[in-house]
Amino acid sequence: MAKRKTKFVCQDCGYESTKWMGKCPGCQNWNTLVEEIEAEPAGRKRGFVTGGKRTAKPEPITTIERTEEERISTHIKELNRVLGGGIVPGSLVLVGGDPGIGKSTLLLQVSATLSERKERVLYISGEESVKQTKLRADRLGIGNDQLFVLAETDVEHIEKVIEEMNPTLVIIDSIQTVYLEGVTSAPGSVSQVRECTSAFMRIAKTKGIAIFLVGHVTKQGSIAGPRILEHMVDCVLYFEGERHHTYRILRAVKNRFGSTNEIGIFEMKEAGLEEVLNPSEIFLEERSSGAAGSAVVASMEGTRTVLVEIQSLISPTSFGNPRRMATGVDHNRISLIMAVLEKRVGMMLQNHDAYVKVAGGVRLDEPSIDLAIAVSIASSFRDSPTAPADVIIGEVGLTGEVRRVTRIEQRVIEAAKLGFERVIIPEKSAGGWTAPEGIEVVGVSSVNEAIEVTLGGISSGSPTFEL
């Protein structure tokens, strides 16, 4: 009998070594290498997992017929937006998020919408029994004879059930709980997650069945398991938001069939997740008028315009090195903008702590928010509030200039819909289009000019502005 070989595998990046090391050479993390027994070659060549021998031959790309596959609409507009228009048959989608954020709830609601249209759906739970899943379905008001529930963790048995049922959609909750008998490591390990995902990928591609995988996340917020897991699937969705708040953001970080810039916004209620059709009103509904350090920006998330509030707090530091903290924006961008304000505007911020936050738990990463951040910092530093009816849009350069941004007309139209009266935009973006009625468009060419327009002559007794 051949001696079984062992290896040490990093549980974060999948790096393999013949000996144990305290620090992984691949991802530089400590204490992540775990001993695993190498699987026998024959253990991976059983049943439908390998799909048998391949007989396909290469052919010229010009002779391949192009067919447009119809997407499966989930009747959840926010999810359809993130997926690029609906579920693509034969696709493998990975959904990640913190525990209790609403991943299982969302997928159970998706199952309900499809089963109501007589589409067969198979929901496989590796963490709950069928009775526990039934209790959650009753709480959400879900019940249909086309929705099948299975509590199973053996991938080979799951494959047999899928072949017998031939469903339209399969949901695996979660990928860290299922296992293959041919792989000797424990469920949730790097080897098991990789091999199980590979098995489900073959099922999806050969059978044309859409499969959703639920993935746990680490303390750093990334999906647990090797990085190759995200490379294997067609689409990676992250469910974001504070568990103790009601609003959730569904974001695509990888999508082979659509854009990765789209977001879907939901509100967690007693009856499940409900779509938020106008997120700007929610992000601005608690905004206080007349407060220094507040500015509203119109940001683009894919094809959607979202108006959010940027808050800044500038206070004298009590230590030698001032603190720079940011929530919802890149920390390095705050340091860059503050350097521009010091050099080009003359604000002595080097002895002040700076705290910048995007209200509502949204994360913004596009350049058009630079000018709103600069104005909010200047507003807090001077203790002079901005006008409640202003929206500020623009990218800031290192020389203090305000650079043009894309889709300016769409941003201004969204601001006008919410009742704002003035929008400050880059001067180069002010021409070539017509502003809607009821809103004033002001073009600025520098940060100095923008601060003068927004903060000059405004007192703390400004009239309140109702959204």
User: Does residue 53 belong to any structural domain of this protein?
Assistant: no
**The pLDDT of residue 270:** 84
Give 457-461's long-range contacts (Cβ < 8 A, gap of 24+): 458/384, 458/385, 458/386, 458/387, 460/290, 460/292, 460/384, 460/385, 461/290
Q: What is the pLDDT of residues 304-316, one digit of tens each?
A: 899 999 999 999 9
- The sheet carrying 210-215 orders its strands as 147-151, 121-125, 169-173, 210-215, 92-97, 235-240, 247-255, 263-269, 272-275
CA–CA distance, 450 with 459 (Å, rounded to integer): 17
Using alpha carbons, select from 410, 421, 411, 416 the residue that is nearest to residue 371: 411
Q: What is the pLDDT of residues 184-213, one digit of tens each?
A: 778 887 888 888 999 999 999 999 999 999
Which segments within 11-134 are labelled E, that is strand?
A: 16-17, 33-37, 92-97, 121-125
User: Does residue 244 belong to any structural domain of this protein?
Assistant: yes
Is 299 found in the same domain as 265? no
CA–CA distance, 321 with 306 (Å, rounded to integer): 35
Which SS3 state, helix, strand or coil, does residue 455 take?
Answer: helix
Structure tokens at 67: 């067919």
Binding residues: 97-104
User: Does residue 136 belong to any structural domain of this protein?
Assistant: yes
Mean pLDDT along residues 380-409: 94
Is 307 found in the same domain as 271? no
What whole-number percentage of the chain has pLDDT above 70?
89
What is the pLDDT confidence band of residue 461, given thresholds at 50, 70 and 90?
A: very low
Q: What are phi and psi of 52, to 5 degrees?
A: 75, -170
254 burial type by CB count under 10 A (0-12 exposed, 13-18 middle, 19+ buried): middle
Would you say the C-alpha torsion 340, 330, 12, 261 has a positive or negative sign? negative
Structure tokens at 426: 């880059």
**The pLDDT of residue 463:** 34
**The pLDDT of residue 171:** 96
Structural domain for 350, as ranges = 282-455
Structure tokens at 7: 């290896």
Q: What is the pLDDT of residues 260-285, one digit of tens each?
A: 878 888 988 888 899 988 888 878 87
Contact 389, 457 (CB under 8 A): no
Which SS3 state, helix, strand or coil, does residue 197 take?
Answer: helix
Question: Among 51-65, 340-354, 396-410, whose mean pLDDT is lowest?
Answer: 51-65
CA–CA distance, 180 with 421 (Å, rounded to integer): 61
Is 305 found in the same domain as 269? no
Number of domain units in the chain: 3
Q: What is the pLDDT of residues 417-457, one digit of tens each?
A: 888 999 999 999 988 888 888 899 999 999 999 999 999 74
Mean pLDDT along residues 109-113: 94
Is 265 found in the same domain as 358? no
Supply the CATH number for residue 387's domain: 3.30.230.10
Tell me: pLDDT of 226 over 60. Answer: no
Side chain identity at residue 299, one-letter code: S
What is the pLDDT confidence band of residue 61, given thresholds at 50, 70 and 90?
A: confident
Quote the distance between the C-alpha of residue 265 and its chain's center.
10
Tell me: pLDDT of 259 over 90. Answer: no
Mean pLDDT along residues 54-61: 80
Is 399 found in the same domain as 329? yes
Q: Domain boundary residue among 260, 277, 294?
A: 277
Tell me: pLDDT of 244 over 70. Answer: no
Bridge-based pairing of strands 210-215 and 92-97 is: parallel
Binding residues for ATP: 97-104
Output the CA–CA distances (angstroms, integers) from residue 234 to 5, 42, 93, 180, 408, in the order listed.
33, 28, 6, 22, 32
CA–CA distance, 169 with 213 (Å, rounded to integer): 11
CA–CA distance, 143 with 110 (Å, rounded to integer): 12
Tell me: pLDDT of 2 over 80. Answer: no
285 burial type by CB count under 10 A (0-12 exposed, 13-18 middle, 19+ buried): exposed
CA–CA distance, 379 with 371 (Å, rounded to integer): 12
Supply the CATH number for residue 219's domain: 3.40.50.300
Q: What is the pLDDT of residues 23-53, one digit of tens each?
A: 988 888 888 888 877 755 544 444 444 445 5
Is 268 found in the same domain as 292? no
Is 239 found in the same domain as 126? yes
Is 287 found in the same domain as 270? no
**The pLDDT of residue 341:** 95
What whole-number percentage of the chain has pLDDT above 90?
52
